[in-house]
Amino acid sequence: MKAFGSEKLNIFPFSYRRHDQFTVKEGKLVKYKGHKSFSMQQLSIRAKHTQSRRQISPVANGMINNEDGGLLLIGVQENGLIHGLMLSKSQQEHLVTNIIDTCDRLRPKVPRHFYEINFIQVKLTNSKAKEEKTYLSDETNIPHLFRTTKLCWCDYQAITSINLGFLHKCWIIELTIHSLSHSDLQMIRYI
């Protein structure tokens, strides 16, 4: 159970099932995004002009400015259908760092304690299918590429591993924007 302001939402599973329908409808407190393009710089020129995909950061920013907070579910289609995003460990790290980088560039800067990022596994609906083989090594000290439409090294690594038959788990990313608490001294200095 997650609380946002005066409302409570019954969303707290340990995993989701692919192709299930989300029971909570999109609204002021819950938004679905089927992609991971968090900032404007990540959108392709075609997506920017056709508006077929919009960056996620304005939705997060709206929830930050809303006293009740909210929940962004990345990897869920707008109609509530659960797909998840196939992500390697390096891609997960990239996504977290990208969200933090984007929130740090907002004015005023969004403090880290205003939000929380969780990865919830999406199980395949076919129980006989193998969800994951072995990862290719994700260990590297190469910095991730941000603020560009170009793929990062971790994306190329994931594509290569898939082409070699190594599958990564699918995830839903829960970006929880905490409701503003007037008694929280750490939060009150930003209000």
pLDDT in tens, the chain (191 residues): 455 444 545 555 677 889 898 888 898 899 999 888 777 666 666 665 565 567 787 888 888 888 889 999 999 998 999 999 999 999 999 999 999 998 898 888 888 989 999 999 998 866 554 444 444 555 667 888 888 888 899 999 999 988 998 888 999 999 999 987 766 655 555 55
Secondary structure (3-state) at 63: helix
User: What span, in angstroms and rounded, lies between the C-alpha atoms of 96 and 117?
Assistant: 7
> Quick one: pLDDT at residue 180?
77
Written as six digits, the tokens of 111 are: 């403090």
Q: Is residue 188 part of a domain?
A: no
Global pTM reads 0.78
Give the domain range for residue 104. 2-180
Relative to beta strand 70-74, strand 30-33 is: parallel
Written as six digits, the tokens of 98 are: 């990208």
User: What span, in angstroms and rounded, lies between the C-alpha atoms of 24 and 9?
Assistant: 8
| Residue listed under structure tokens 């007037």 | 182
Domain count, the chain: 1
Q: Is residue 190 part of a domain?
A: no
Q: Is residue 191 part of a domain?
A: no
Q: Is residue 186 part of a domain?
A: no
Q: Is residue 187 part of a domain?
A: no
Question: Does the bond joining 111 to the residue before it have cis omega, within 30 degrees of 0?
Answer: no
Q: Is residue 189 part of a domain?
A: no
Q: Is residue 114 part of a domain?
A: yes
> Quick one: pLDDT at residue 141?
79
Q: Is residue 185 part of a domain?
A: no
Q: What are phi and psi of 179, to 5 degrees?
A: -70, 150
